Amino acid sequence: MTLLNLGCGTRTSPSAVNIDWAVALRLKRSRLGRGVAPLLLRGERRARYDAMAGELVCHDLRRGIPYDDGTVDAVYHSHVLEHIDRAAVPGFLAEIRRVLRPGGVHRIVVPDLELEVRRYLADLDAVDRGEAAADGHDRFVHGLLEQSVRREAAGTSAQRGARRWLENTLLGDARRRGETHQWMWDRVNLRAVLTEHGFTDVDVVDHRTSRIPGWPETGLDQEPDGTEYRPGSLYVEAVAG
Exposed / middle / buried, residue 124 (Cβ in 10 Å: 0-12, 13-18, 19+)? middle
Mean pLDDT in runs of 10 for the chain (241 residues)? 97 97 92 89 92 95 97 98 97 98 98 98 98 96 95 92 90 92 98 98 98 97 95 97 85
pLDDT for 62 equals 95
Model pLDDT, residue 121: 98
pTM of the predicted protein model: 0.94
User: What is the tally of structural domains in the chain?
Assistant: 1
What are residue 3's phi and psi, to 5 degrees? Answer: -115, 125
DSSP, collapsed to helix, strand or coil, labels residue 51 as helix
| Residue 227 belongs to domain spanning | 3-111+185-240
Give pLDDT, residue 170: 87
Q: Is 213 inside a domain boundary?
A: yes
pLDDT score, position 7: 98
126 in a domain, yes or no?
A: no
CATH number of the domain at 221, please: 3.40.50.150
Give, to the nearest 10 degrees, the angle between helix 187-196 and helix 89-99: 60
Q: Is 146 a member of any domain?
A: no
Q: Is 198 in contact with 241 (CB distance < 8 Å)? A: yes
- The answer to whether residue 130 is domain-embedded is no
